[in-house]
Amino acid sequence: MTLPESDLLTKTLHAITPTDTSMRQSARLRLDQLAIPHWALGRLMDLAADLAAITGSMQPCVTRKSIAVMAGDHGIVAAGVSKFPQAVTLEMVRNFTNGKASINALARQVGAKVTIVDVGVAGDLSELVESGKIISKKVALGTANFAEGPAMSRAQAIQSIEAGIEVAEQLADSTDLFGTGDMGIGNTSPSSAIIATLCKRSVADVTGRGTGLDDAALEAKIATLEKALALNQPNPEDGLDVLCKVGGFEIGAIAGLILGAAAQKKPVVIDGIISTAGALIADSLSPACRDYMIAGHRSVEQGHLIALNFLNKQALIDLGLRLGEGTGGAVAMNLVEAAVTVLTEVATFEEAAVSQAEKN
């Protein structure tokens, strides 16, 4: 795919480089020598090596955490793919700013700052923008109904991605560890369409119940998405085409946040199916950004596991979560901190003066 004619996106893509292989090797060498049975802390040790490679440091810093919740509405809701009305998106954004939503509570528990970004909510949030409670990067008042044509223009797709990059840059000086979040009624539908296209799977394979559809509504949702993909014909070799044909503004912004974090060589914890759809878009634009992603959790949505497998990611936790907002990623941030602690605070055999023969 040729690079888009956009200065910010092109500059960001050029700034993304592979993670530090030599630092990964150094981290693994130290972890191999910890005064425990070999690799006994399992995936925490794998993650520790990843963090050393991402940050280029044997003392990765993940203290300052920021979760960006990208919000946008979807025209596809008019096709009956969601159990809830579109107005809930606006209401939930307001709830986030009151600090009482699930993401607020779980972010507080892990010590993360929550930033709410309006990328395409179909409503007026100007008073929250003016009061500094949310950031406005609004592309439009929701996407078009992609059951009837493209969700957005290619220019809007780029604009949504650049919105996420701008948020990453804005938060960079106060953030060591990024997290992705979303809010948008109906957004499992574009996510499923993106996953089906980029992972080359059937719609039925990747489409779940979202906010709780019954069997009949699920079948109707699958049929709607199948017709929408047949109508729009998104090109799986062009992530921007996929985004503009069947995506969402908040999904594009999540992709941009991931790209922005990777360009700054900072880890980013990916939340559930919507965030992972954004990760697929980011990966299609810059395969190198994949190594900066940490899969926070495994959603109950069946398409999520397919997308994670495509990205060669294994989720840190599997708790049956299906909320979104960044909640699973927030919980997983505890494990990211634990991985750093293993690398930096556990003694090696030599440091602890423990005989390996005696320990084993």
Q: Which of residues 259 and 3 earns the better pLDDT score? A: 259
What's the pLDDT at 5?
59
Give the residue numbers annotated as catalytic, written as ranges: 325
CA–CA gap between residue 253 and residue 263 (Å, rounded):
15
101 is written with which tokens? 């939503």
Look at residue 4 in the predicted model and tell me its pLDDT. Answer: 54
> Which of 90-94, 211-215, 313-317 has the least mean pLDDT?
211-215
Residue 264's pLDDT is what? 98
Classify burial at 230, counting beta carbons within 10 Å of its beta carbon; exposed 0-12, middle 13-18, buried 19 or more: exposed
Residues 85-138 pLDDT 10s: 999 999 999 999 999 999 999 999 999 999 999 999 999 999 999 999 999 999
- Best CA proximity match to 247, nearest among 300, 284, 292: 284
- Return the residue matching tokens 């950031």: 135
Hey, how many other C-beta atoms are within 10 angstroms of the C-beta on 154? 16
CA atoms within 13 A on the CB side of 189: 37
Strand partners, 270: 295
Q: CA triplet 158, 160, 162: central angle to 5 degrees?
A: 70
For residue 219, what are the contacts with CB-CB under 8 A and spacing of at least 6? Answer: none
Domain 7-59+343-359 belongs to what architecture? Answer: Orthogonal Bundle (1.10)
In this prediction, residues 182-187 reach a mean pLDDT of 97
Helix residue ranges per DSSP H, the chain: 7-15, 21-32, 42-55, 87-97, 102-110, 126-130, 154-171, 188-198, 203-206, 215-232, 239-246, 249-263, 273-285, 302-310, 327-345, 349-352, 356-359
Whether 344 shows a pLDDT value over 70: the answer reads yes
- Per-residue pLDDT band for 353 (boundaries 50, 70, 90) equals confident
Q: Locate 60 and state its tokens.
A: 């990765």
Q: Tell me the angle at which helices 249-263 and 154-171 cross, rounded to the nearest 10 degrees.
A: 50
C-beta atoms surrounding 344 within 10 Å = 15
Contact 175, 66 (CB under 8 A): yes
pLDDT digits (tens, 9 = 90+) for 44-94: 999 999 999 999 999 999 999 999 999 999 999 999 999 899 999 999 999
Mean pLDDT confidence for 203-211: 92
Q: What pLDDT shows up at residue 1?
A: 54
Q: Residue 99 is encoded by which pair of tokens? A: 């600090």
| 257 has a pLDDT exceeding 80 | yes
**pLDDT value at 238 more than 80:** yes
* Residue 357 in this model has a pLDDT that exceeds 60: no
CB-based contacts of 30, cutoff 8 Å, min separation 6: 58, 343, 348
What is the rounded distance in angstroms from the CA atom of residue 197 to the CA atom of residue 95?
A: 33
Rounded to 5°, angle at Cα 339 from 333 and 344: 130
Asked if 209 contacts 218 with a C-beta cutoff of 8 angstroms, the reply is yes
Token duo for residue 212: 């709780």
Give yes or no for residue 250 having a pLDDT over 70.
yes
Hey, where are the domains in the chain? Answer: 7-59+343-359, 65-335
The pLDDT score that the predictor gives to residue 210 is 85
CA dihedral 247, 312, 69, 326 (to 10 degrees): 130
Architecture of domain 65-335: 3-Layer(aba) Sandwich (3.40)
How far is the C-alpha of 133 from the C-alpha of 142, rounded, in Å? 20
Section 167-196 average pLDDT? 98
